[in-house]
Amino acid sequence: MRSCSGATRFDELDVDLNFTLVLTDPANMNLQTTVVFTDLIGSTGVFESVGNLRATEAVTRLTQWISGVCAEHGGQVVKTLGDGVLALFPSGQMAVDAVVQMQRQHQANIAQTPLELRMPIRIGVASGDVEMVGGDCFGDAVNVAARLSDLSGPHEIWANDLSLAKAVAHDGVRFRSLGSVQIRGRTELCAAYQLEWQTDLNTAFLTRQADLDTHLDGIDVLGGQIELSWNQQSRSFRSFDLPVQMGRVAGLDVTLNDPRVSRTHARLDWRNGSIVLVDISSYGSWVRFSGGGSDVLLRRKECVLHGDGLISLGAPPGDSDEHIIRFKVS
């Protein structure tokens, strides 16, 4: 595979489409390691728009290119999962360097890619215990990395605090606290950070070990404001306005007159620097983030809101807007 340094476009890479990078010596892998989980956003739409053959080739080339970036930075790819890649790194620093280069180079590549083939990358990074079984890996860090990837948006990198504890932010990178977030299937909250990797950022975190800003937990680190629009109505809520109640009953903060919506269906909570949607209904809620990716189904569960998208109460997003709330987190 050709070098992934510089501005080589992934659609020009001279690669074997059967290329696979495997963990060659799992016995030597430390129990404490750093997991990177990458996911391509919008791949389903690519298959629909260009057909299976062309889409398969584009997705395969991208996952192979991602694998090459991981290998270049000392990572070892355990497996690819359709449009995702799971890799292990000996240290958080090596993982950070890899995913930052990945996003920066992909941003340059995607600008030269046909619109119908553009697939942004979202990335989760987590350090912790990992167990190797039969060439596959399991453990808390794997679950956390996958969940952080799910919660992140297009072109974003989310990481847990353990992965950044000894990492040095350099070359314009900044670690921004997102507060504590809930990880599905995990009772303990996760202290999460977003890696701001854009080179034009003016940051005070250059060429030194990055402060993890733990004193910011519970403070307004996401901007503390969410804009909601529904049925030709629009309102903005600050962190101190939350919780916000949504449902069919008149007098709630957000009222939707649709039989699929429960009397009190869901609410927005402010929790340690994050705006969280909590479903308390019988039929569930759906969240669709802008930029593609699968809808998130919540049934008596919760989800951190970020960026913009829509919330659908009582039924998946469809032709009707009666049960749809559009949101934008500032």
Mean pLDDT of 148-167: 88
Q: What is the mean pLDDT of residues 38-52?
A: 87
State the pLDDT at residue 249. 92
Q: What band does 189 get if pLDDT is binned at 50, 70 and 90? A: confident
For residue 32, is pLDDT > 80? no
Q: Which residue in the block uniquely carries the two structure tokens 């890899």?
A: 98
Say whether pLDDT at 280 is over 50: yes
pLDDT of residue 272: 60
DSSP annotation of 263: S
Q: Is the pLDDT of residue 302 over 90?
A: no
pLDDT digits (tens, 9 = 90+) for 245-277: 999 999 899 999 999 999 999 999 887 667 889
Phi-psi region of 135 (alpha: psi -120 to 50; beta: other; left: phi over 0): left
Report the alpha-carbon distance of residue 193 to residue 158 in Å, rounded.
6
In sequence order, the β-bridge partners of residue 228 are: 235, 327
Q: Which pLDDT does position 319 carry in this prediction?
A: 67
Whole-number pLDDT of residue 111: 83
Q: What is the pLDDT of residue 187?
A: 76
Residues contacting 188, CB < 8 A, separation 6+: none
The percent of residues above 70 in pLDDT, for the chain, comes to 82
pLDDT of residue 41: 86
Higher pLDDT, 11 or 254: 254
Give the Cα separation of 192 and 204 in Å (integer).
Answer: 20
Q: How far apart are CA 164 and CA 205, in angstroms?
A: 13
User: Model confidence at 161, in pLDDT bands (50, 70, 90)?
Assistant: very high
Strand-pair partners of 122: 39
| Cβ proximity of 149 and 183 under 8 Å | no
In this prediction, residues 32-54 reach a mean pLDDT of 88
